[in-house]
Amino acid sequence: MRRSISFVLILLSVLSLAAMAVAAEPGQPILITSAGQSADDMILKVMLERQFGNPVDRNPLAEASEVEGHQTLLLAVGVSNKGLGAAGINLEQEKARLTSVLDAAKAADCYVIMVHIGGPSRRGAGSDEVARLVAPYASKMIILADSNQDGFFDELAKEHDAALEIVESRNDVALIIADLVK
Amino acid sequence: MRTPRVLVLALVLAALLAGTAVQAQGPMLHDVRPGYGVTKIGWLSDYHAPLRGTRADTRVYYLDSGEPGPTAVILGGTHANEIAGIAAATLIVERAEVTKGRIIVIPYANNSAASSIDDVRPNITTWSIETESGTRIFRYGDRRTREADQGPDPEVYVHYPSGYELDPDEARNLNRAHPGKADGTLTQQAAYAYTQLIKQENAAIAVDMHEAGTESRLANMLVANPKNLDLAVIAIVELELKGVKMNVEQSSEEFRGLSHREWGDHTQAYAYLIETPNPGQSPNIVDPDVVNDPKFPLAMRVATQLATVEAIFTAHELVLGERPQWINLPSYDELVQNGLGSYLR
């Protein structure tokens, strides 16, 4: 009996340590990509480069192979039909790309941050669909208050146990991320 | 009783004179009061002579610093019911002085539309502002060229030169006619003149000021030609740091005829289009006040337009090393706090 209890305790300790070991941590370098092809990922890049004073990697059409070597993956959620058109893809292709990138991030122990800074104009069926696709992978969600007037991201964060920060301005997003990855 | 011959002759003469008077009207003139910064006033027909004498001809205001620097062309009134662009352009003409480069301003870009009545809000034909000099009254026009000035709409409007097909009444929408056609319809000829203006004046920056409904996706949007999307993003960030929230989008690949797409593709200019929210364009607002709406007052919309132009200039200086420089315009906060009437002459 004593041996069984000891074995269970040892097993639980090992499992806990294992869980701690795989939890991703935010840090640099960062890779920014778009989730929906709005220009919000470009806005994030400009704001973060102002914070850091150094270039930040950004590819709106990043592929899974580009995740390697980055500690944090930042996704700017927001569907733009003009952006999709300019990229020569449709929403289904964008979702397939995102799934592949997010799976790669998970395998590489990359910290995933979901960001929504587009406000009400970047909400709607397509944008919300993409947000639901990204959410299960996100450790953190940083959302503009204007983007969350209906509490959609509160529900999403709760459902996926992600840390949620609601901010008033896009500059606040940059400050939070800069602080997180330093 | 037989009608006296004198009376018949008088009636015929009156009819002839009435017809002559309508044809002689030419372009409508508006209450724009050039300030110290204006160094020359011209006409759109200076860039395409066939426009002279038509309703589409319109005043062009030049603010030339005399110092080296880039040229910016700024349009208001492409859609004459989108009054924040008209008001912002008017304010530039009346107050701004340029200290580097040049700024060329056209407050009533589709002057035929300005003389028409908005078919969505036919009860709004003017808007007014109290100023130090008294009440100033401005036209609230229509989105499109007057049908009487251009003739009936085609069964299908085919954009030149792309061949893109649009609804018939878009044949009278200046923002579906760029880059224009020298021998096309009146609207196409006006668009052609703007393309010539931008090319001949070697404009580095071309801005088209518009409005959209308050619930529209386009409200508070900066649209940029793909070749200058990065500059538009920097402008948005600059605005954000000053507490002005705008979104950014690039021109559609397939949707043709719009200023930001066609000016950017067919001229050397970096082209932008600014949208602010106008309650007059919101179908769900009954009896809108297009000047003093509590949530979207005209002063705030004008302030947003001017702040966005300034942010575009800043972005150009950051990336390209130069910008037009202007002074004596009120700041965003000053306009919002003190109202448009404090600054119009």
pLDDT, tens only, B230-264: 999 999 999 998 999 999 999 988 889 999 999 99
Chain A: residue nearest B219 by CA?
A121
Whose tokens are 């991030």? That residue is A105
Of A85, A169, A171, the CB nearest to B252: A85
Q: Which pLDDT value is given to residue A87?
A: 92
Of A43, A86, A121, the CB nearest to B253: A86
Mean pLDDT over the full length of chain B? 93
Would you call B233 and A46 a contact, using CB atoms and an 8 Å cutoff?
yes
| Rounded average pLDDT over B119-148 | 96
Of B218, B233, B252, the CB nearest to A43: B233
- Helices A170-181 and A40-52 meet at what angle, rounded to 10? 60
In a domain, B15, yes or no: no
Q: How far is CA B126 from CA B57, B111, B122, in A?
A: 20, 15, 10
Q: pLDDT higher for A81 or B192?
A: B192
Chain B: residue nearest A174 by CA?
B237
* Chain B residues touching A56 at Cβ < 8 A: none
Would you call A82 and B245 a contact, using CB atoms and an 8 Å cutoff?
no
In a domain, B274, yes or no: yes
Would you call B250 and A83 a contact, using CB atoms and an 8 Å cutoff?
yes
A80-114 pLDDT, tens digit per residue, is: 988 998 899 999 999 999 999 999 999 999 999 99
B329 shares contact with chain A (CB less than 8 Å): no
* Total number of domains in chain B: 1
Mean pLDDT over the full length of chain A? 90
B24-67 pLDDT, tens digit per residue, is: 579 999 999 999 999 999 999 999 999 999 999 999 999 999 99
Chain A: residue nearest B243 by CA?
A169
- Measured in angstroms, the CA of B124 and the nearest CA of chain A are apart by 28
Give ∠ CA B164-B44-B265 in degrees, rounded to 5. Answer: 35
| Rounded average pLDDT over B310-324 | 95
In a domain, B204, yes or no: yes
A7-53 pLDDT, tens digit per residue, is: 666 655 555 544 444 578 999 999 999 999 999 999 999 999 988 98
Q: Quick check: B11 pLDDT over 80?
A: no
Cut 0.95: pTM above it = no
B85-109 pLDDT, tens digit per residue, is: 999 999 999 999 999 999 999 999 9
In a domain, B172, yes or no: yes
Q: Which pLDDT value is given to residue A12?
A: 55
**What domain range is B165 assigned to?**
26-342
Beta-bridged to residue A181, according to DSSP, are none
Give ∠ CA B22-B153-B48 in degrees, rounded to 5. Answer: 60
In a domain, B7, yes or no: no
Residue B52 corresponds to which amino acid?
R
CB B217 within 8 A of CB A123: no
Q: Which pLDDT value is given to residue B302?
A: 98
Q: Which positions ≥6 away from B53 have C-beta within 8 Å?
A: B26, B27, B45
CB B345 within 8 A of CB B130: no
B240 shares contact with chain A (CB less than 8 Å): yes
Of A46, A82, A118, the CB nearest to B234: A46
- Measured in angstroms, the CA of A120 and the nearest CA of chain B are apart by 8
Residue from A58, A80, A121, A171 whose CB has the most chain B CBs within 10 Å, to mutate: A121
In a domain, B216, yes or no: yes
Would you call A39 and B229 a contact, using CB atoms and an 8 Å cutoff?
yes
Chain A: residue nearest B235 by CA?
A43
- Please report the domains of chain A, with CATH numbers, ordered by start residue: 25-181 (3.40.1190.20)
In a domain, B17, yes or no: no
Q: Which pLDDT value is given to residue B4?
A: 67
In a domain, B256, yes or no: yes
Rounded to the nearest 10 degrees, how much is the dihedral formed by the CA atoms of B256, B261, B267, B269? Answer: 160
B241 shares contact with chain A (CB less than 8 Å): yes
Q: Which pLDDT value is given to residue B2?
A: 55
Q: Quick check: B1 pLDDT over 60?
A: no
Of B221, B236, B254, the CB nearest to A43: B236
Residue from B238, B247, B254, B275 whose CB has the most chain A CBs within 10 Å, to mutate: B247
Percentage, residues of chain B above pLDDT 70: 93
Q: pLDDT higher for B2 or A79?
A: A79
B25-37 pLDDT, tens digit per residue, is: 799 999 999 999 9
CB B77 within 8 A of CB B114: yes
- Which CATH number is B115's domain given? 3.40.630.10
Q: Which pLDDT value is given to residue B324?
A: 98
Would you call A80 and B249 a contact, using CB atoms and an 8 Å cutoff?
yes
